[in-house]
């Protein structure tokens, strides 16, 4: 068992008891007797699990400070807080700061070791998942023989040795994040963090909290994406979704190269390379007044445009062969072959782009069909829904214009409603309609609100 536990307690007897218990259970240990020793041990090498006494030699809550220090470096490390002066307020404070568990002295040895075991398992699981995701992204290449992909690979080579900001345009699932990761992997910042902030998934009220972090009234700190990415690269995905007010603050950060946390008084210097991506036409968003032109010019030092998969059909056979081998290798699954010239795959419109193709091949790999016929059946079944949509479109050519228009509007608005998860306000903004008018239109077409 290679899990390493860092024990931090100013009581020599407690340190000795914990050290003996944990070693007997098969774990490696390190110990620290005071706050400064603990800082040195943490900064020298992060442990897999930490056990920290709340009150050390610096003050009443210096153990919580160490907890925050560890979480800033790696939020996945489980920290067990122990205290001989425990109360409910202290327990709540430590758990809010990210503690894995809180236990009061004198502690029950079996209970403590149960916490240690669960903490080690929790860390190992998160570590395995992260390694798998990293392996997936870092091992995948940008595959294709189309002019678009050849050009992008050349751009990545040139951009990786610079510090320029990059703006990546392309539809959902086309490979924007992969491009950003490739730039990071080949850059001088490759040993530093790669952090993603997805503008489309955040609550409007939380953009600034997620970007800048917060200094809470209880003294704890929530670190934002700009600090988490220090020394590395921050990818702001779907940057067009960020509110105008927050856009102005991002512009100020880019100009001043510093910012303050929410409720903070001190400037934090910025050392981050920013890459942005969007599925929307940003110039059109600027015209509509949804995106600041001055911010766009700051972010768009260099632009990469990736085309949808249905516009680079010649890449599909190469991607099929590549993913078939790669997914089987990564997941240690049975090798399988998919006919790269399968007309179902070539003729399909791929609305989900490369991600949809990769997911289909992953599905085939997991199901492990024993014959070409069964592989073909999985492909047909998976792509059937799109084929039905095509048939529906062809059928609309044989009906009167009014009926065809209503049919199209109903399909289009239903699709958009699903896309925005039933959020009529966001949908109205995207399609360029007043919210009240959109509600009337949905009611008139008998489209039920998802909410």
CATH number where 430 lies: 1.10.10.60
Nearest Cα to 267, choosing from 281, 277, 280, 252? 252
Which one of 307, 331, 364 terminates a domain? 307
Q: Is residue 137 part of a domain?
A: no
pLDDT higher for 295 or 442? 295
Same domain, yes or no, for 264 and 321?
Answer: no
Same domain, yes or no, for 387 and 407?
Answer: no
Same domain, yes or no, for 422 and 380?
Answer: no
pLDDT at 383: 84
| Preceding amide of 106 cis, omega within 30 | yes
Span 341-370, average pLDDT: 86
Same domain, yes or no, for 347 and 376?
Answer: yes
143-155 residue pLDDT tens: 999 999 999 999 9
Same domain, yes or no, for 272 and 366?
Answer: no
Instruction: Spell out a b/e string for 295-312, using b for 16 or more CB atoms within 10 Å of the CB, else e.
Output: bbebbeeeebebbbbeeb
Residue the block writes with tokens 């595959």: 143
Q: Is residue 271 part of a domain?
A: yes
Rounded to whole angstroms, the Cα distance separating 106 from 57 reads: 19
pLDDT at 98: 87
Q: Is residue 172 part of a domain?
A: yes
Rounded to whole angstroms, the Cα distance separating 398 from 386 reads: 20
Q: Which two tokens stand for residue 383?
A: 């792509």
Same domain, yes or no, for 282 and 150?
Answer: yes
- Number of domains the chain is built from: 4
64-78 residue pLDDT tens: 889 988 988 888 899
Same domain, yes or no, for 159 and 296?
Answer: yes
Same domain, yes or no, for 303 and 154?
Answer: yes
Average pLDDT over all residues of the chain:
85
Q: How confident is the model at residue 403 (pLDDT cuts 50, 70, 90)?
A: low
Same domain, yes or no, for 156 and 289?
Answer: yes
Q: Is residue 270 part of a domain?
A: yes
Nearest Cα to 189, choosing from 116, 113, 273? 273
Task: Count Cα neighbours of 172 within 13 Å in the Cβ-side half-sphere.
Answer: 8
Task: Count Cα neighbours of 193 within 13 Å in the Cβ-side half-sphere.
Answer: 19
Same domain, yes or no, for 184 and 321?
Answer: no
Rounded to whole angstroms, the Cα distance separating 446 from 256 reads: 52
Which one of 273, 307, 341 terminates a domain? 307
Domain that holds residue 200: 146-307
The domain that contains 327 carries what CATH number? Answer: 1.10.8.60
Q: Is residue 32 part of a domain?
A: yes
Same domain, yes or no, for 268 and 226?
Answer: yes
Residue 67 and residue 79 in contact, taking contact as beta carbons nearer than 8 Å? yes
Q: Is residue 138 part of a domain?
A: no
Is the pLDDT confidence value at 443 over 90?
no
pLDDT at 322: 92
Q: Is residue 322 part of a domain?
A: yes
Same domain, yes or no, for 159 and 128?
Answer: no
pLDDT at 92: 78
**Among 118-122, 133-137, 341-345, 439-443, which stretch is predicted with the lowest mean pLDDT?**
133-137
**Among 79-93, 99-113, 218-232, which stretch is predicted with the lowest mean pLDDT?**
79-93
pLDDT at 421: 67
Rounded to whole angstroms, the Cα distance separating 124 from 216 reads: 30
Q: What angle do CA 318, 324, 327 make, to 5 degrees?
A: 125
pLDDT at 433: 77
**Residue 225: alpha-carbon gap to chain centroid:** 11
Distances (CA, A) of 359 to 18, 287, 355, 365, 374: 47, 36, 6, 10, 17
Which one of 269, 285, 307 terminates a domain? 307
pLDDT at 133: 58
Residue the block writes with tokens 């910025």: 270
Q: How confident is the model at residue 139 (pLDDT cuts 50, 70, 90)?
A: low
Q: Is residue 140 part of a domain?
A: no
Q: How confident is the model at residue 281 (pLDDT cuts 50, 70, 90)?
A: very high
């Amino acid at each position: 068992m290679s899990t390493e536990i860092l024990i931090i307690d100013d009581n020599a007897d407690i340190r000795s008891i914990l050290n003996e218990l944990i070693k007997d259970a098969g774990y490696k240990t390190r110990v620290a007797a005071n706050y400064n020793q603990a800082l040195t041990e943490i900064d020298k090498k992060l442990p897999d699990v930490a056990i920290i006494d709340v009150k050390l030699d610096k003050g009443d809550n210096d153990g919580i400070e160490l907890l925050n220090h560890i979480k800033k470096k790696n939020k996945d490390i489980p920290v067990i807080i122990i205290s001989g002066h425990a109360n409910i307020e202290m327990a709540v404070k430590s758990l809010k700061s990210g503690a894995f568990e809180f236990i009061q002295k004198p502690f029950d040895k079996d209970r403590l070791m149960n916490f240690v075991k669960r903490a080690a398992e929790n860390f190992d699981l998160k570590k395995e998942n992260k390694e798998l995701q990293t392996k997936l992204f870092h091992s995948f290449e940008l595959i294709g023989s189309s002019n678009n992909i050849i050009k992008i690979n050349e751009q990545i080579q040139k951009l990786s040795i610079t510090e320029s900001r990059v703006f990546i345009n392309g539809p959902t699932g086309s490979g924007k994040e992969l491009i950003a990761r490739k730039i990071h992997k080949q850059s001088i910042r490759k040993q530093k963090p790669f952090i993603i902030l997805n503008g489309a998934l955040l609550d409007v009220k939380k953009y600034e909290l997620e970007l800048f972090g917060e200094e809470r009234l209880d003294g704890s700190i929530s670190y934002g994406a700009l600090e988490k990415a220090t020394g590395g690269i921050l990818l702001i995905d779907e940057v067009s979704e960020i509110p105008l007010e927050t856009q102005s603050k991002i512009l100020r950060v880019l100009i001043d190269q510093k910012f303050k946390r929410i409720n903070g008084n001190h400037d934090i210097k910025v050392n981050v390379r920013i890459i942005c991506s969007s599925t929307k036409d940003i110039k059109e968003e600027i015209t509509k007044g949804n995106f600041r032109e001055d911010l766009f010019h700051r972010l768009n030092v260099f632009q990469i445009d990736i085309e949808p998969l249905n516009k680079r059909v010649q890449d599909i056979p190469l991607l099929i062969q590549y993913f078939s081998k790669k997914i089987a290798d990564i997941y240690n699954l049975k090798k399988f072959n998919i006919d790269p010239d399968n007309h179902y795959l070539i003729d399909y419109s791929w609305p989900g782009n490369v991600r949809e193709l990769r997911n289909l091949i992953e599905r085939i790999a997991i199901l492990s069909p024993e014959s070409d016929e069964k592989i073909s059946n999985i492909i047909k079944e998976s792509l059937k829904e799109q084929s039905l949509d095509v048939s529906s479109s062809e059928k609309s050519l044989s009906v009167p214009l009014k009926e065809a228009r209503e049919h199209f509007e109903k399909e289009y608005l239903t699709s958009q409603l699903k896309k925005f998860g039933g959020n009529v306000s966001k949908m109205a903004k995207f399609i360029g309609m007043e919210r009240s008018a959109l509600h009337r239109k949905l009611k008139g077409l008998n489209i039920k609100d998802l909410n």
